[in-house]
Amino acid sequence: MKVKIFQKKKKIIIVLAIMTLMVALVFSYKNLMLEKNNKNENTESTSFAYYIDGVSTRSMPSRSDGYVFDEASSNCTNGVIPSWDYSSWTFEGDYTNYNAEDYNRTNCNLYFTKMKTVSTVLGDLQVYTYIPDFTKSACDDATCESHEKGIFETTDDDGTSYYYRGSVENNYVYFANRYWRIIRINGDESIKMIYDGTTAHPNGESSTDRQAGTSLFNSSNDNNMYLGYMYTSGEAHGLGTSSTIKQANDNFYTSVLSSYASYLDMNAGFCGDRSTLNNQSGVGTGTVSTYMKGYLRVSTSTPTLSCENSSDLYTISSSNKGNKALNYAVGLITADEALFSGTGGGVFDGNYNYFKNAPSSYITTGNDFWTMTPIGYYNPFGNVYRISRLFFVNTSGSIDDRDTTSVSALRPVINIRSDVIVSGDGTMQNPYNFSLN
């Protein structure tokens, strides 16, 4: 008898447990669906009305029409915040505060306006005003995460700068019997450009003609000082000795550019930022383990065109800013400028690079080339010994790192005066040319 009662109680307990579990599962499912609907409503349940330059239209503009998303004017019902994914050219709403009752359809009014027209030394240019996602590589190639291309705006230490990004085809210059590609128009309206060969090369073409030889960055890698474009033993921002790459750059200047010095802006500079992440005693000198702020900007995809320390802004003696340490007005591209141009950020974690290729970006040459942005003096990949390392752009257009005694291409960078007379339209067939009054 006791056995039967026990078995009966056991069955009841099992049934109750199953029922409790089923109730819990149903409750959890309802909560999950509610949370999904509240935070991540599918855009299929969202209706859109499009406005181009304030006029209602049945369809949104295409990527190539030259419009940008007007986030300030655009709006949605039900607490949804509208935004736009430029890399895929699609609506990207934030449904975190979704508050519809009875799951009413969300209605969004999306506004698009033309790019801004700005007057520059190159003439009137159409400029994008939004901030790109610098975690994504930008080029026309299918391997790029974004297909943005054009001219964008940001700020530098002198004002508003207009930079070229992606697979642009309107930044060719023919100067000093060589071809160059414009990196940006500086805030002081001078033109910064990078060497691109003795003949014009289309985007994506791999050629050693697009470089002015190769060089070590420095002859040693066992001290913080070798991170500098110029350096002095025992000083974090020393300027006493020219690096190996600077000597090669100076030689290029004397052989190719010296007779064109009157065209160059002698006030603009080149930033080899040696500002450190940590401030304890001795950081940035000797063999003290050091990480530079360039490391942080690349790993967090937050490039800047400002130069934090004037001792790292390389200028010539007649300039009214910077360190005034250069003999010749020539430098290198920065890792930040490489990010602005279309190389993908967020790729460097101090141990391994997650490459984001940009093979058809205008900046890519099919060959490794140096930037002048140091990473630090540390133990890469778990090595026993610390090594001084800098950023470079690799063969596929990814930003990468290597030690200062490695060999990479030299691509000189110069600044052209803002008062030059400009002809041409910047295409490969009709590049910009400069003349003086």
Q: What is the pLDDT of residue 55?
A: 85
DSSP string, 155-178: EETTEEEEEEESS-SS-EEEETTE
Residues of the chain below pLDDT 50: 1-6, 26-27, 29-40
Q: What is the pLDDT of residue 294?
A: 95
Cα–Cα distance for residue pair 415/271, rounded to 1 Å: 13
- Calpha distance 64→124 (Å, rounded): 19
Reported pTM: 0.82
Residue 119 lies in a domain: no
> In this structure, are 86 and 141 located in the same domain?
no
pLDDT at 3: 45
371 in the same domain as 282: yes
The gap from C-alpha 269 to its chain's centroid, in whole angstroms, comes to: 20
Residues 137 and 282 in one domain: yes
Does residue 25 share a domain with residue 66?
no
- The answer on 49 and 34 residing in a single domain is no
Domain count, the chain: 3
Other beta carbons less than 10 A from residue 63's beta carbon: 14
Q: Give the residue numbers spanning the domain of 6.
A: 1-39
From 114, 134, 163, the end of a domain falls on 114
294 in the same domain as 148: yes
Q: What is the pLDDT of residues 332-349, one digit of tens each?
A: 999 999 999 999 887 655
- pLDDT value at position 356? 84
pLDDT of residue 33: 43
